Amino acid sequence: MDEHLVRLEASLWVGKKRFWAVLTGWHLNWTELDKKNRSKMTVSIPVSEVVSVEEGRVHVSPRRSISEDADREFTVFYVKRTSSRSSGGFLWSLGRTQFSCPSRGLRDQWVTQLRLALKTHSPSRPHRLLVFINPFGGKKQGRDIYQSLVAPLFELAGISCHVVVTERGNQARDHILKKDLTGFDGVICVGGDGMFSELLHGVIGRTQQEAGLSEHDPTLTLQSCDLHIGIIPAGSTDCVCFATMGVNDPVTSALHIIIGDSQPLDVCSVHYRSSLVRYAVSLVGYGFYGDVLAESEKHRWMGPLRYDYSGAMVYLSNRSYAGIVQYLPADPQLSNPRDNTRCLSGCSVCSKSTERLFPHSPNASSLYSSHFSQFGSDSEGKWVSVEGRFRAVSLTCMSSSCPRSPLGLSPSAHLADGTADLIIVRDTHPLGFLTFLHRHTTTQDQFDLPFVEVHRVKAVRFSLPPGAEDDEDEEAVKDGVLAEEDEAPIQSGSKQHLAGVTSYRRQKKKALCGLCCSKAPSVSVWNCDGELLPHTEILCRVHCQLVRLYARGIEDGLAPTSGICRERQGTCRGRCVLHN
């Protein structure tokens, strides 16, 4: 379809002002006219960002209502942007404009053409969603957030939802793995990063089961997942949502879901010996970040404040740990973690990765090529080994930005290029490490320190030096979970799993001892997206674009705000950033 083709145009009224409205191939534009028919301000909305077109005068809040005497009017709901002061992203809200037509016939024509344009330009919009609500996460407002802010928008957009309010850990993951999901276009979590992790494990696990692939083989290329994941932030940190959208806002997330945005996302699989332990997207951290999580679990009654308290206590303990870090470097010609670029919406680096993954298909949701191997290529070097004492070892598949750290652990990390950034912080004096931590809250380069190094990698191995104490579990590891003698397997990710890990390590007397102990522990624990791992020696491997989110990446904060299309309303194909 020609994007310049005018499908419909007419003189319409908005309130007491007259406008010339034009529906083209990709945009709905309306221009205010003065008494002499001279053009004034023009508002341009991409058809792909129209949420709904309704007959009559329609209001959404607090409940949807339609005026009875409005047979010549129709209402257009669309995405409206405002800059977020706390981040570089945009807050999305529901825009609403009510048009009056000279006749009912013309009104019906406009409604029909607009709805047809929506179907033409937004074929990937979801129609049926499976929604999981965590009523206990964050400030325990997940249910209220969904019912008051999200559900009315889904109803307006004609999306039917099956809602499950979870009552236990891993209920959402188990539901996705075992229940019939026929007819669902996506799964939505209303909660924090822990809830997202449940959906992540469920979607990946189900996809591999249906494809007949083993998740436990780290050399195997996993099959990409067609079922999209949406995030309605209602947790303590909501790191994944912030890093993929630039804001933590339920309405913004709901609108991304409604219009069917699709953002591919790399996933890191964590293995111990021949078994999968967990998947991660934001952080696999050893040393400081693992100790903070272990300490914070003792103070859950404090709510989100437990992270501040635990961080301070762990910093004062002044610990470092011996280890051997091996990594498989990515191709440095494609990108590097210190090139001062940001992964924004439409990122060219991630787009090139998509072209390499799917060379014969314009649809990014296609299956992985069976001939593509991420674990090594001619353009990548051999394994590199680093040995010493470390304050922290971190691996992240994204910037891991959050409101407190707007640029994140690795500001130039990419969401979907098939790599992760490995950050190694060697042992140093307390003031130097404090400088490193403080720079995460500023715009200063946290890597510009003599004891810090960062590498873009495809895979990472961590092991303990010969002769060092190790608290690896010698029990049988079956199906990727830790099993105690005479007990049922403990499912990773749940509170029961955490209790099992803590109990086991206490029994072995190798656990993180109290912060006031006279003797510091010889090993730390791994923090894997907010969950403690039961193993120290692990292998991590990055899977390129394994899942897809209802998101589009962080939008460029330099986008225009005047309501005029950057591409003169002609060639942007409805994907440019517009405001009104």
Min mean pLDDT across 2-11, 240-249, 394-403, 454-463 is at 2-11
Side-chain half-sphere exposure of 475, counting CA atoms within 13 A: 21
Domain ranges in the chain?
Answer: 8-123, 124-261, 269-369+385-543
For 65-86, what is the mean pLDDT? Answer: 81
Q: How far apart are CA 129 and CA 206, in angstroms?
A: 17
Q: Specify the pLDDT at position 379.
A: 44
Measured at the CA of 550, the angle between CA 244 and CA 120, to 5 degrees, comes to 130
The whole-chain average pLDDT of the chain stands at 83
Phi and psi of 557, rounded to 5°? -70, -10
Q: How far apart are CA 25 and CA 309, in angstroms?
A: 55
Q: Quote the percentage of the chain above a pLDDT of 70.
A: 79
Q: Specify the pLDDT at position 232.
A: 97
Q: How do residues 341-355 score in pLDDT, each as one tens digit?
A: 899 999 999 988 877
124-261 has the same fold as 8-123: no
Residue 510 has pLDDT above 60, yes or no: no
Q: Which residues are catalytic?
A: 193
Q: How do residues 281-305 score in pLDDT, each as one tens digit?
A: 999 999 999 999 999 988 888 877 8
445: its two tokens: 């380069």
Q: How far apart are CA 574 and CA 65, in angstroms?
A: 30
Q: Quote the percentage of the chain above a pLDDT of 90.
A: 64
**What is the CATH code of the structural domain delimited by 269-369+385-543?**
2.60.200.40
pLDDT band at 362 (very low <50, low <70, confident <90, very high): very low
Q: Specify the pLDDT at position 6.
A: 67
Distances from the Cα of 30 to the Cαs of 40, 156, 569, in angstroms? 10, 23, 12
Q: How do residues 228-276 score in pLDDT, each as one tens digit?
A: 999 999 987 889 999 999 999 999 999 999 999 999 999 999 999 989 9
Q: How far apart are CA 158 and CA 118, in angstroms?
A: 12
Could you say which architecture CATH assigns to the domain 124-261? Answer: 3-Layer(aba) Sandwich (3.40)
From 296, 333, 341, select the one nearest 314 (Cα to Cα). Answer: 296
Q: Dmax over Cα atoms in the chain, in whole Å?
A: 89
For 557-568, what is the mean pLDDT? Answer: 43
CB 478 within 8 A of CB 488: no
Min mean pLDDT across 368-372, 534-538, 555-559 is at 368-372
CB 277 within 8 A of CB 540: no
Q: How do residues 391-438 score in pLDDT, each as one tens digit?
A: 999 999 999 988 888 889 999 999 999 999 999 999 999 999 999 999
Pick the CATH number of 8-123 from 1.10.10.60, 2.30.29.30, 2.40.40.20, 2.60.15.10: 2.30.29.30
Q: Specify the pLDDT at position 520.
A: 72
Min mean pLDDT across 155-164, 175-184, 495-504, 551-560 is at 495-504
For 316-332, what is the mean pLDDT? Answer: 95
49: its two tokens: 């960002």
Q: Specify the pLDDT at position 432.
A: 96
Neighbours of 222 (CB within 10 A): 23
Q: What is the pTM assigned to this prediction?
A: 0.84
Q: Specify the pLDDT at position 481.
A: 39
Q: Specify the pLDDT at position 300.
A: 80
CB 253 within 8 A of CB 190: no
Q: How do residues 78-115 score in pLDDT, each as one tens digit?
A: 999 988 766 667 999 999 999 999 999 999 999 999 99
Measured at the CA of 177, the angle between CA 174 and CA 181, to 5 degrees, comes to 115
